[in-house]
Amino acid sequence: MDIEMRIRGLMMDPNTNMPIVVLKDVASDTVLPIWVGIFEANAIAIEIEKLTAPRPMTHDLTRNIIGYMNGRLDRVVITELKDDTFYAVLWLTQGGQPMTVDARPSDAIALALRADCPIYVAEPVLAIARLNTGTPSDSVSAEQLRKWLEGLNDEDLGRYKM
């Protein structure tokens, strides 16, 4: 079963200074942190803040191509967590035919924001992530990080600044 998530925030990991996308279950307080690269975080931040780039970014281009081909992005699903790496799938419809495309979670999230489609996480991924947060930092325990993320408020998250 897939769990619908929303972006709770975009922030910097206080230990590694790497960007984190924080997803939150729409039906509970469960959160899922996903560490992403700086460029991917920037693409997500631009859409969260509804900024306009002077030229289309890669995710804008992808959304436009899907639309020009009479396709639709229906949802994105973070499907796996293997060796501290998340995997995602884009669920598209084109010409009435459903199809899936492998994607990095950061790209899938950036595209979902632009296409205004839901983001899901496979239930087994959330179960694994609860045991192993996927954090590149060993200085904080998984339980401490989980409690810290779940306790974040809007002021803590703030706005992501490049």
* pLDDT value, residue 84: 87
- List the chain domain ranges: 2-150
Q: How many helices (H) and strands (E) does the chain have?
A: 6, 7
Which tens digit of pLDDT belongs to each residue from 65-80?
Answer: 999 999 999 999 999 9
Is the entire prediction scored with pTM above 0.85? no
| Phi, psi torsion values for 138, nearest 5 degrees | -95, 0
Dig out the tokens for 9 from the structure. 């925030």
Which tens digit of pLDDT belongs to each residue from 101-145?
Answer: 999 999 999 999 999 999 999 999 998 887 654 444 444 455 555
* pLDDT value, residue 14: 82
Q: For the domain with range 2-150, which CATH number is right: 3.40.50.720, 3.40.50.300, 3.40.50.20, 3.10.690.10?
A: 3.10.690.10
